[in-house]
Amino acid sequence: MIFFKNKSKKVSADTVGGVKRQTKSKAKSNFYLSRKNAWLLWLCQCLNISVIALELSTWMLAIIALSLAWQALLLHQGREKGNSLSKNNPATGQTHRKNSRQDHQHIFRQSIGQNTRQKKQQATNVSPIVLGIFALLGCVAIVITAKQVGILASMLHLLCFSYALKGFELRSRSDFYQLQLLGLFVLAASLIFRQDLAFSLITFALLVLNLAVLLQFFSFEKAFVTNIKVVIVLLGQSAILAIVLFLVFPRLSPFWQVPLAKSAETGLSDTVKPGDIANLTRSTKLAFRADFGQQKVPNYSLLYWRAMVLEEYDGRQWSRQHKSTRNKTAVAAKNFSFDNSATEISPLSYQVIVEPSFQKYLFALAPAVVTGDAKGIQAQADHTFNNSKIISQAKSYRLTSYLTAPLTLELTKQSRQLNLSYPQGSNPRLEQLALQLQHNYVDVQARAQAVLNIINKENYSYTLQPPLLDNNSLDQFFFDTQAGFCVHYASVFTFVMRASGIPARMVTGYLGGEYNGVTNTGDNTGQLANKGHLSIYQYDAHAWSEIWVEGKGWLRVDPTSAVDPERVNSGWSTQLLQQQSELNNDLFSLYRMKNIAWLNALRLQFDALDYQWTRWVIGFTSKQQYDLFKNWFGKMVSWKLALIIAVSLVISMSMLMLFLHLLNRSKTKPQSLTKWQVIYQKAMGKLAKQGMEKPLSMTVNDFAKQVRQQCPELAIVFTRLSASYNRLCYQMLSTNEQEKLMLTMQQQYQQFVQVLKIIDKKSSRLYSYI
Amino acid sequence: MAATAKFSLARPVRHFFQKHFERWLARRIPNQPEHQLNSRNIMIYPTRFGLAYLGFVVLVFLLGTNYQNNIILLFSYLLASLFISVMLHSFYNFSQLRFYSVAKQQGYAEQPLYFVIKITTEKTHYDINAHFTDKALNSQVEKIELCQQGSHELRLVYRTLQRGKHWLGRVTVFSEYSLGLFKSKSILDFGHFAIIYPKAKSLIAGQYQLSGQADEPSIDSYQSTNSVGTDDFSELKSFVRGESKARTAWKQLAKGQGHYSKHYQAEQSQLQWLKLSEMPSNDVEIQLAYLSFLIGELTASNQSFGLQLSAELSNQSMNISPNSGFHHQQACLTALALYS
């Protein structure tokens, strides 16, 4: 029967088909974004691209900016078209005004309104052929430049390019969804390059914004701010599960080789010219952090973080030993790592967390040995450490240093030769000075001290803006300009030492660091309790010298201490800071920050937070995960691990469900019953026992009537009770009157109960008679 | 060839599943005038976008794993758990809604019929959509964007050419609120049916009137003995608008006693029966259409009439004895609609 009916309906549908098919096709193209939402989407696109903009090449940025501007123009034109049309037609004008007030286009239900919308869509749509050609050209450009910029970057280019172009063809809902997902992917991809707390927070904020735009599509009647709130609540609820997943979900090793990020290298470079480090020190970016745990942080003047040793000098710049020669020395000295068994010096153990520098060198307080996980870390003969791969994200490692232990007591012939060589005649005046010193001071250390004395006594200055030197001539600096930064002094010192026959070399790295945290002294134990870390910024970059002394090994000599002792003992002088802030010329320069107390406190707080973030979130490796499990649940077996994962997921999921359930419950919580309602309910209960039940839909008065008919004995009492109940419920009464009425109602109820009892007795008697 | 074979095999399988699904549904969500949504009758499943989103989350997870990047991993975990909390939100947005709808609607063919669904809510809900489940009805999706506390109405339109009684089946109610990742859906059975009357086709005016001049030949077919003079005058009644001027008691009006119309016994007795067999056409549908028109006109002029669809007078189910008024009209039209 039903089947037949369906068939007949089909026939009928076909006959009306003409109209209906039209409506159907209309429904298909029924997608439109509200004005506000369209602009918000556009804004989202701009912001999403801006977080990854640093990794894109300029031409791609230009193209993206162009297409986004074009989209903005189309959006703007769309509105103007709508306005002009509404002016022509007063009726549409009205709907339009209403529309703009509510700020969405859904009110365009009228056919005229639909017309405007169609026109608008025509205006906002660019012809697909133009778009296709544009896309094709872009792809060709990306392919051409792929070799130059690397695979990862060209993939990113492709992603951003498609993201920008997708905005042109928002024809259906799925286009909108695709655009949203692309946007989220751009956000995720931007995290490849930076992971610090500030950037993560920005990404999170953008995630909220993106999701709010998506939510706006489904509830555009709400203000955007409330939508943002809803999204934050949603994400907050999801955070429970996300954190559990983060903690317990097994860290997998990479599934396949991925192209590595090739970002601009930051920090020190392989070669150093006078003036190089001065440029670097303008940067206030973080280089790395060190955590000494409970130990006392060594004095500032001992914190020479060694990064690279530069042994070759060509008259202009210092550079690392060539690979070929380094390999030779590598064969000669197999065991690079410092032999810690022989020393009696108390060890200093600490953890270093390096920020991504896109280079390979690591930092250490020499001499040091790697403790703990030494995977991928290579110790070098010159007491530096290298990572086997480019450091593209924060990396942490543990070191143990023996600060006062001598470095390399025996110097190989090759090494001695290398550290004595200098291009003859490159700086004749300095060579002359060196010969003179060699003659005057036989003792090696005395000779070194003599150079430092000259620097200290004469009118040398320490400045971030050293005058330029012709051909990096050390002569010119030492005898004429007499103003320079650490590399100038270290270069001159090393040069003079070499010229006077002492093996000497240049070392670059960082000096000092900013201690962030509280140091509690005088606990019960009297020991120092540290809670904090050392942050070393790019402006802490430094260069110093080492000379080799028979029986003492490589000795560190820092010529900077002779010209600016403050730099070496406690950090930058105010003068330098001022210079830096002038050079940088930005509002939040370090100098200003350090001068405003609360701002500085805030900066330190954020730094501390960022440190914890780096340590616990970025640095949460599979090993740490394993240790965590071990701490909590004892020895790990694979089935136990699986059990933990499953149980914790289930628990957190059910917690989330319970939480949401309670949240929704509380909203629909029934109002507590008032006193009179309680009494009336009781009376209802008694009547129900007598076989008189009140249907929910029946009014109180109607029910009273029914009772009157069914049970005349009860009529009077129950009608009175109902009347007072009605008055209490629906009349506006003062509290006094209410109380009075309540009392009477209670009395009425008691009467009612008595009458009921009498009826009961009667009926029971009746039964007994029968 | 293989494809067609597959298709022919797939159809019975699909049919089988559909049948079982319908049986299950009938048990799960029985026919009721009022439904409240709860975990018993809500179905919730990811939309295509939801599945795409899941794929996307897996992609982000792969990205994070391949780059050994904890923040990207955290990002993917957050998105994955968002998927779950959106599911719950979607469910809570949809549950506790109450729907009420009257099962029966009647109207003429080709005219839109509105099935009103009343929605009562205790909190604010978003994005509530409804349409007839039966795809053959081509029903448009009706939408309430914002369903604030209180009651709301959705009107589902049904329009057809075919007279008769049409079962419209279930109503699909769905919502994609939160982020469009999930579709919460319920297939409610209000037992909706439509009684579609034949479309009124007008006979030329005057055919059924009590005018003395029977100029239309067709009218003779059932008004053959009708003439003013022979009628027995029965009473005077106050003039009701729409009554024929021919019946005005001019004498009384002239005397200033008021506007009365004369009512005749014979007129009623003669026009008592509208007979299908006497309609001027060979096509039953057209005959029914004429009857539909006449019923409307006679009711408008508040005249009493009976309807005779079958030749035998004794057939109680096919014939309706003379009466007047709205309910009578409905009964007659329903009889026309159901005539077969």
Q: B126: nearest CA in chain A?
A: A219
> How would residue A83 be classed by pLDDT, with cut points 50, 70 and 90?
low
Q: Residue B314's pLDDT is what? A: 65
> How would residue B325 be classed by pLDDT, with cut points 50, 70 and 90?
confident
Query: How much of chain B, in percent, has pLDDT values that exceed 90?
Result: 15
Per mean pLDDT, which range of A523-537, B80-94, B244-258 is the poorest? A523-537
If asked whether residues B258 and B142 sit together in one domain, one would say no
In chain B, residues with a C-beta closer than 8 Å to the C-beta of A256 are 66
Q: Residue A36's pLDDT is what? A: 86
CB atoms A8 and B164 under 8 Å: yes
In a domain, B105, yes or no: yes
Nearest-by-Cβ selection for B52 from A181, A253, A620: A181
Does a cis peptide bond (omega within 30 degrees of 0) precede residue A367? yes
In chain A, residues with a C-beta closer than 8 Å to the C-beta of B78 are 207, 235, 238-239, 242
Q: Average pLDDT in the B57-79 region?
A: 93
Q: Residue A358's pLDDT is what? A: 85
Q: What confidence tens digit (pLDDT) does each residue in A259-270 have?
A: 777 767 778 888
Nearest-by-Cβ selection for A653 from B72, B79, B84: B84
- Is the pLDDT at A106 greater than 70? The verdict is no
CB atoms B75 and A106 under 8 Å: no
Nearest-by-Cβ selection for B66 from A2, A256, A653: A256
Burial class from Cβ neighbours inside 10 Å (0-12, 13-18, 19+) for residue B98 reads middle
In chain B, residues with a C-beta closer than 8 Å to the C-beta of A16 are 159-161
In a domain, B34, yes or no: yes
Across the strands, what pairs with A122?
none
In chain A, residues with a C-beta closer than 8 Å to the C-beta of B136 are 6, 9-10, 13
Taking only residues 576 to 615 of chain A, the set having a beta carbon closer than 8 angstroms to any beta carbon of chain B reads none
If asked whether residues B305 and B179 sit together in one domain, one would say no
Question: At residue B166, what are phi and psi to the nearest 5 degrees?
Answer: -115, 125
- Is the pLDDT at A220 greater than 80? The verdict is no
Per mean pLDDT, which range of A99-113, A289-303, A469-483 is the poorest? A99-113
If asked whether residues B253 and B118 sit together in one domain, one would say no
Q: Residue B50's pLDDT is what? A: 94
If asked whether residues B271 and B304 sit together in one domain, one would say yes
Total structural domains in chain B?
2
Q: Radius of gyration over alpha carbons of chain B, in Å?
A: 31
- Is the pLDDT at A524 greater than 50? The verdict is no
Q: What confidence tens digit (pLDDT) does each residue in A310-368 have?
A: 988 888 888 887 655 555 444 444 445 566 666 677 888 898 999 888 888 999 988 88
- Best CA proximity match to A225, nearest among A239, A237, A238, A208: A208
Helix or strand (DSSP H, E) at A595: helix A590-595
> How would residue A91 be classed by pLDDT, with cut points 50, 70 and 90?
very low
In a domain, B205, yes or no: no
Contacts for A720 with CB less than 8 Å, ≥ 6 apart: A748
Q: Residue A98's pLDDT is what? A: 40
Q: What confidence tens digit (pLDDT) does each residue in A353-372 have?
A: 998 888 889 999 888 888 87
- Tell whether A205 is within 8 A of chain B (Cβ): no
Instruction: Report the number of secondary-structure helices (H) and strands (E) in chain A.
Output: 28, 18
In chain B, residues with a C-beta closer than 8 Å to the C-beta of A8 are 162, 164
If asked whether residues B245 and B153 sit together in one domain, one would say no
If asked whether residues B261 and B187 sit together in one domain, one would say no
In a domain, B309, yes or no: yes
Q: A195: nearest CA in chain B?
A: B71
CB atoms B63 and A192 under 8 Å: yes
If asked whether residues B176 and B224 sit together in one domain, one would say no
Taking only residues 154 to 173 of chain A, the set having a beta carbon closer than 8 angstroms to any beta carbon of chain B reads 173
Across the strands, what pairs with B194?
B105, B166
Nearest-by-Cβ selection for A8 from B77, B145, B162: B162
CB atoms B81 and A238 under 8 Å: yes
Nearest-by-Cβ selection for A617 from B74, B79, B81: B74
> DSSP state, A618?
I
Query: How distant is the Cα of B25 from the closest Cα of chain A, in angstroms?
Result: 16
Q: Residue B225's pLDDT is what? A: 39
CB atoms A217 and B180 under 8 Å: yes
If asked whether residues B62 and B125 sit together in one domain, one would say yes
- Best CA proximity match to A318, nearest among A269, A361, A352: A269
Query: How much of chain A, in percent, has pLDDT values that exceed 90?
Result: 18
If asked whether residues B262 and B308 sit together in one domain, one would say yes
If asked whether residues B57 and B174 sit together in one domain, one would say yes
- Tell whether A184 is within 8 A of chain B (Cβ): yes
Q: Which of B49, B69, B72, B85 to mutate to test the interface with A (most CBs of A within 10 A)?
A: B85
Taking only residues 3 to 42 of chain B, the set having a beta carbon closer than 8 angstroms to any beta carbon of chain A reads none
Q: Which of A12, A48, A197, A243 to mutate to test the interface with B (most CBs of B within 10 A)?
A: A12
Residue B70 is part of a domain; what is its CATH number? 2.60.40
Q: Residue A322's pLDDT is what? A: 66
- Angle among Cα A685, A691, A693 to the nearest 5 degrees reads 55
- Is the pLDDT at A585 greater than 70? The verdict is no
In a domain, B4, yes or no: no
The DSSP string of A185-199 is HHHHHHTTT--SHHH
Taking only residues 160 to 219 of chain B, the set having a beta carbon closer than 8 angstroms to any beta carbon of chain A reads 160-162, 164, 166-167, 176-180
Rounded Cα gap, residues A587 and A581, in angstroms: 9
CB atoms A214 and B179 under 8 Å: yes
Provide the 3-class DSSP secondary structure of residue B204.
Answer: coil
Taking only residues 81 to 100 of chain B, the set having a beta carbon closer than 8 angstroms to any beta carbon of chain A reads 81-82, 84-86, 88-89, 92, 95-96
Give the sign of the dihedral formed by CA A520, CA A522, CA A525, CA A526: positive
> How would residue A182 be classed by pLDDT, with cut points 50, 70 and 90?
very high
Mean of all residue pLDDT scores within chain A: 79
Cα-Cα-Cα-Cα torsion A296, A302, A303, A305, nearest 10 degrees, comes to -130
- Tell whether B121 is within 8 A of chain A (Cβ): no
Q: What confidence tens digit (pLDDT) does each residue in A129-176 have?
A: 888 888 898 889 888 888 888 888 889 999 999 999 988 888 888 999
If asked whether residues B174 and B295 sit together in one domain, one would say no
* Structural domain spans, chain A: 1-25, 31-221, 271-608, 634-667, 675-769
In a domain, B6, yes or no: no
Range of the domain at B331: 220-338
Q: B179: nearest CA in chain A?
A: A215
Rounded Cα gap, residues B36 and B41, in angstroms: 8
In a domain, B81, yes or no: yes
Taking only residues 643 to 672 of chain A, the set having a beta carbon closer than 8 angstroms to any beta carbon of chain B reads 653, 656-657, 660, 664, 667-668
The distance between the two most distant Cα atoms of chain A, rounded to a whole number of Å, is 145
Q: Residue B232's pLDDT is what? A: 53
Q: What confidence tens digit (pLDDT) does each residue in A637-674 have?
A: 778 888 888 898 898 888 888 888 887 765 544 555 67
In chain B, residues with a C-beta closer than 8 Å to the C-beta of A242 are 74, 77-78, 80-81
Q: Which of A106, A176, A191 to mutate to test the interface with B (most CBs of B within 10 A)?
A: A191
In this structure, what token pair is assigned to residue A586? 């930005």
Q: What confidence tens digit (pLDDT) does each residue in A451-489 have?
A: 999 998 888 888 888 888 887 788 888 988 888 888 899
Q: Residue A305's pLDDT is what? A: 93
CB atoms B161 and A252 under 8 Å: no
Q: Which of B62, B74, B83, B140 to mutate to test the interface with A (most CBs of A within 10 A)?
A: B74
For A424-429, the CB contacts below 8 A with 24+ separation are: A426/A315, A426/A474, A427/A315, A427/A473, A427/A474, A427/A475, A427/A495, A428/A475, A429/A475, A429/A478, A429/A479
Helix or strand (DSSP H, E) at B322: strand B319-323
Q: Residue A404's pLDDT is what? A: 82
In a domain, B1, yes or no: no
Rounded Cα gap, residues A90 and A92, in angstroms: 5
Q: Radius of gyration over alpha carbons of chain A, in Å?
A: 40
If asked whether residues B185 and B224 sit together in one domain, one would say no
CB atoms B92 and A664 under 8 Å: yes
Taking only residues 238 to 257 of chain B, the set having a beta carbon closer than 8 angstroms to any beta carbon of chain A reads none
Q: Residue A737's pLDDT is what? A: 81
